[in-house]
Each structure stands twice: as structure tokens, then as C-alpha cells.
Amino acid sequence: MNTIAIASFLLAIISVGVAIYQGFERKRLDLFVKNQAWHNYSLILRAWGIQQSSFNKYKDIYGKDVDLELLEQLSKTDTFLHALHLESIRQIQLSESNFDIQLVNLWQYIGRISESQAKAFKETATFNPPGIIGSIKIHLHRYLQEKISHYQTELTKPKEERKI
């Protein structure tokens, strides 16, 4: 055999070994990305819950005398956390090989997500990843419209009748 044939054969064997190694590394990386996406989702839900409970505690302490500047800051925080919530769902969608409504139903059935959380997941599942930015904009727009409408309604009432 000539030297070029032997070198080519060894290079082919090494290439197969590298390809197998890269396959294992890819699976590890995919699992890491998936776990990180779910971890971020849980942290965002916790932060959102803390923000909501802080606002409720503030309302309990100060009653109807809500500071409008603080209300504005809490509203901005709430909106930002909602946007992060949708972005974390998008990251989960991108980390899953098959993200569809059946998978979301399975997660809800096994308790990975609640019924209220499943709504945003199902809405996101109807969008393909290239259009996900539009999905986030739609979710965020709906959410902001609801918040703005609620706060506008409450702020038109006398202070003693406000529920915020």
C-alpha cells in the first residue's frame, strides 16, 4: 500500500471518531440549553410573583392612597416581567425539537406547567419560531392594553373608590 492510502484511511477513522464525539457533545449542549430555558422560566415566574405580592402588600398597607409614581414603576416592572415571561417561553420553544399543543397538553397533564401558564404556551405553539417575535408582540400588546385599560378605569375613580 502506498503512504497516501494509509494516511487517507487513518484520517477517515479519526474523522468518524470526531463525528461520534461531536454527536455526544451536541446532545449534551441541547440538554443544557433546554434545562437553562426552563430554569430561566422558573426564575422569571418567581420574580413576577414577588412583584405582584409586593404590589398587593403595598395596597394593603396604604389602601386607597396609592402613589401614582410608584404605581407607574410597578406597572413598568410588571410589563417587563411579562415580556421576559414570553421570551422564556420562546426560548423553551426553540430548545424543544417538537414544540406543539400536544406537548404543552402533556406538560400540563404531568404538572410541569399550570393551566394558567398553558395558555401562553399554547398561543406560542401556534407560531413557528421565525414568527415568534410577532407572537411576543401580540401577547405583550394584549397584556399592555388590559393593564392600561384597568389603570385608566381605576384612576378616573375617586381615591376612596379605587381598587389599586
Q: What's the pLDDT band for 164 if we cut at 50, 70, 90?
A: low
Return the number of other C-beta atoms located less than 10 Å from residue 96's C-beta.
15
**Average pLDDT over the chain, rounded to an integer:** 83
Distance CA(66)–CA(75), nearest Å, equals 13
The pLDDT, as a whole number, for residue 133 is: 62
Q: Going by C-beta distance under 8 Å and a sequence separation of 6 or more, which residues neighbour residue 154?
A: 162, 163, 164
103-111: long-range contacts, CB 8 A cutoff, minimum separation 24: none
Quick check: 55 pLDDT over 90? no
Render 8-77 in DSSP notation, one character per residue.
HHHHHHHHHHHHHHHHHHHHHHHHHHHHHHHHHHHHHHHHHHHHHHHHHHHHHHHTT---HHHHHHHHHH
Q: Which of 13-17, 28-32, 61-65, 107-111 has the weakest average pLDDT?
A: 61-65
pLDDT value of position 161: 73
- Dihedral sign for Cα 19, 25, 28, 33, please: negative
Q: Which residue has the cell 405553539?
A: 125
CB 38 within 8 A of CB 92: yes
Query: Would the pLDDT of 48 be above 80?
Result: yes
pLDDT in tens, 128-154: 554 556 666 666 767 777 777 777 777
